[in-house]
Structure 1
């Protein structure tokens, strides 16, 4: 009888250990994640900036995960098609999506039915804030002087298209400082910068990268950047927050998973992506393409999404873009 009890005890312990994973490296969902290659959806066409960033990041991150990461382009709808595809994918950690600021702007513009809450943020990879840029011979040397002049006259500010991020950034700036600007849309940031150089408009609110060459040449000057911290490429240019203007807005790229991804898989991805995103190799890629760097983990990325979604939820409906 005693021998039978001992045998029964060990059988019970074996069953318990088996149910708990037996002390192996399995995740909470019962898999040695990842056991196969992953897919990274890029919601824009191949060859663009977002695609280039995604492919470089995937190539670096695969070494951290020990599995290949295939980049798949799902363009359409200004990013809506690819992001919706990512949202609808199986929440097992094997399908991820590169998300951009359009994750927030498209829904509030009535161009998509999803929400940032439909995804689980994993890592923020880059950020390019809006910057108030004028000609080098303009009468303003500070953003405060620019604002004061804008209170008394209609200043023309170029953007990359009505409803695009640089139009939204200039509109947010306008509301925050209490002025009325004359917004002039162009088919992209480059034509807007050309118009500024030609004296056809007074300023642009595009990214520092998009005016870097002209600033270096002495043709343009940046009065302020719309971000929490000064950007490395313009260390002498103050942020709006330094002048008491609480506005941080721009474009960015990050990686997200379907919202119901198991915690264990999400954690494994976050840890691997943290190493890849902060590597010198990835930072060099961003420098090569003239893109700004900013890494945030899942929590920090979530906070960014929430804060900027609050801005766009009020701003975009007020602009009557439809």
Structure 2
């Protein structure tokens, strides 16, 4: 009888251990795909790859970033929204998710997703070619006024955050400029460095490599304070223009992902956001780490959507 009880106990122990092991390994069983709605080399792509490479060690599987560009981000946003809700396809949602609907560029809003976490925020800059004939924002404004309708300011897409940033600046400065769209910030920055356009209104992170190479110069940043790594760059407010504006980026899931899988992803990416290696990488990229959990991010999305609509109406950018 004693032997039978011991055998039964051993069997129960082995079954329980196996059961626990199976339960802990239900997800993930394979690699995860992370969709980036913007082009390789831009700020969104850079920060997304940084957080994903860090999150891999906490998630216990590979995370492959896949760039799906076009339609001012709407192609990538739709791919995330329409993905199978099994936790193996998610993506980065950005400011344009909240601006595209106001232009009729997409028939869905932030409500089509389950927000996971906010990753970062970045202010816009006004950046020009290094040998441009203006060295201050005031000189650039004077140049624009002397050449009405002829100065080209590049952005990442029509109605994108960088388009709106340039529109706010132009409105505040009272200048008439042409807004030139690109499929992502990287192309716009390359164009200004090559002298094909006069300026860009993208983030500091997105002009960093060209700035460090001496190919461009940043006249001002639309932030509340000067950037720590570049203290010589003045804020827009210091230059006499009351403009603070920038983008946000976060991770979103298609609706319907189970609570258990959400919890695993939330834990992995939250740990990644707090990881010293990620924080160091973000700093090197000149990107601001701005963490929000799922609940706070959801509230932020709603408020930002409504505020963005009001701003776009003011600038005449709505459909």
Superposed counterparts of 1:64-83, under 5 Å: 64-65=58-59, 67-71=60-64, 73=66, 75=68, 77-78=70-71, 79-83=73-77
Counterpart Cα distance in 2 of 1:89 and 1:217:
40
Task: Give the aligned partner of residue 125 of structure 2.
Answer: 131
Q: Secondary structure at the match of 1:114?
A: coil
Write out per-residue CA displacement over residues 52-82 of structure 1, whole angstroms, 9 at most, x where no aligned residue.
Answer: 65454334213323x3254363725433233
1:127/1:253 contact within 8 Å kept: yes
- Paired positions, count: 285
Of the candidates 174, 181, 186, which is equivalent to residue 179 of structure 1?
174
The CA deviation at 1:36 is 1.7
- The answer to whether residue 318 in structure 2 is matched with residue 297 in structure 1 is no
Counterpart Cα distance in 1 of 2:33 and 2:101:
22
Counterpart Cα distance in 1 of 2:237 and 2:260:
38
Q: TM-score when scaled to structure 1?
A: 0.67
- The answer to whether residue 35 in structure 2 is matched with residue 42 in structure 1 is yes
1:75/1:82 contact within 8 Å kept: yes
Q: Which runs of 5+ in 1 are unaligned?
A: 1-25
Of the candidates 273, 277, 281, which is equivalent to residue 277 of structure 1?
273
Counterpart Cα distance in 2 of 1:167 and 1:105:
11
Instruction: Give the RMSD, CA atoms, in angstroms.
Output: 4.1
Counterpart Cα distance in 2 of 1:100 and 1:183:
24
- The answer to whether residue 192 in structure 2 is matched with residue 193 in structure 1 is yes
The CA deviation at 1:266 is 4.2
1:158/1:184 contact within 8 Å kept: yes
1:86/1:95 contact within 8 Å kept: yes
Q: Secondary structure at the match of 1:174?
A: helix
1:169/1:249 contact within 8 Å kept: yes
Of the candidates 82, 96, 115, which is equivalent to residue 121 of structure 1?
115
Q: Secondary structure at the match of 1:121?
A: strand
Cα 1:256–1:184, aligned 2, differ >3 Å: closer, same or farther?
closer
Counterpart Cα distance in 2 of 1:236 and 1:293:
18
Counterpart Cα distance in 2 of 1:76 and 1:215:
25
The CA deviation at 1:210 is 4.1
Counterpart Cα distance in 1 of 2:65 and 2:208:
31
Q: Secondary structure at the match of 2:201?
A: strand
2:32/2:88 contact within 8 Å kept: yes
Write out per-residue CA displacement over residues 13-67 of structure 1, whole angstroms, 9 at most, x where no aligned residue.
Answer: xxxxxxxxxxxxx9xxxx96772226333144885555565454334213323x3
Of the candidates 94, 100, 104, which is equivalent to residue 106 of structure 1?
100
Task: Give the aligned partner of residue 247 of structure 1.
Answer: 244
Superposed counterparts of 1:1-322, under 5 Å: 35-37=26-28, 39-44=32-37, 48-49=41-42, 50=44, 53-65=47-59, 67-71=60-64, 73=66, 75=68, 77-78=70-71, 79-89=73-83, 91=85, 93=87, 95-134=89-128, 138=133, 141=136, 143=137, 154=148, 156-160=151-155, 163=158, 164-175=160-171, 177=172, 179-185=174-180, 187=182, 188-194=187-193, 201=198, 203-213=199-209, 215-216=211-212, 220-240=216-236, 245-250=242-247, 252-259=248-255, 261=257, 266-286=262-282, 290=285, 292-298=287-293, 299=295, 301-302=297-298, 304-316=300-312, 318-319=315-316
Task: Give the aligned partner of residue 17 of structure 2.
Answer: none
Counterpart Cα distance in 2 of 1:279 and 1:80:
31
Cα 1:221–1:306, aligned 2, differ >3 Å: closer, same or farther?
farther
1:88/1:258 contact within 8 Å kept: yes
Task: Give the aligned partner of residue 10 of structure 2.
Answer: none
Q: Which runs of 5+ in 2 are unaligned?
A: 1-19
Counterpart Cα distance in 2 of 1:228 and 1:309:
22
Q: Secondary structure at the match of 1:276?
A: helix
